Amino acid sequence: VLDLSRMETGDLNFKFDDYPLIECCQSALDSICHRIPDGVELTFTPDTIPVILHTDTLRLQQILTNLLTNSAKFTQEGEINLAYKVEEGGKQVRISVTDTGCGIPKEKQSAVFQRFEKLDENAQGSGLGLSICQLIIEHIGGKIWIDPDYTGGSRFVFTHPIHQTRNNSKKED
């Protein structure tokens, strides 16, 4: 709730630095592996292209952890997969968390990013996690959505820009 309030007032500080995406993903996976139910496999599918993001690593891990934790809550068997792929000619990376859980009915998918929205009132949580994720991702310059075509559970997808750094080491004459 405090994060949400700070984001809305512009008081939430972001600390951007260059960071390898694979390390951020691995850190998020390590932090939630104890929450994965027996009978569920936690997998990771990174792109073959190394990705360095100019990001706030704590906020990016917050997003990943939230999505992975949600998947763990609603997946009793099968797989939870974290994946990323560089796209748009290297201008952004598409990150996804896919599970074989109960899924989200299409008519409710647009509501999950609203505050205090819980599809299962008996599930743990406040219903703020996804709206906080959306605010963080938008602040970073990306977008988040549910893949409406995936029917084997749920797939949350978000983009993160890849800022190209120019080599300024050449001296001008």
Q: Are 158 and 143 in contact (CB under 8 A)?
A: yes
Nearest by Cα to 72 from 12, 135, 154: 154
Q: What is the pTM of this model?
A: 0.84
Residues 6+ apart with CB under 8 A from 72: 32, 35, 36, 37, 40, 80
> What is the rounded distance in angstroms from the CA atom of residue 112 to the CA atom of residue 26?
26
For the chain, 173 residues long, give each residue's pLDDT as a single digit of tens.
455 555 555 556 789 999 999 999 999 999 999 999 999 999 999 999 999 999 999 999 999 999 999 999 999 999 999 999 999 788 999 999 999 999 988 888 887 877 655 455 445 444 578 988 998 999 899 999 999 999 999 999 999 999 755 433 333 33
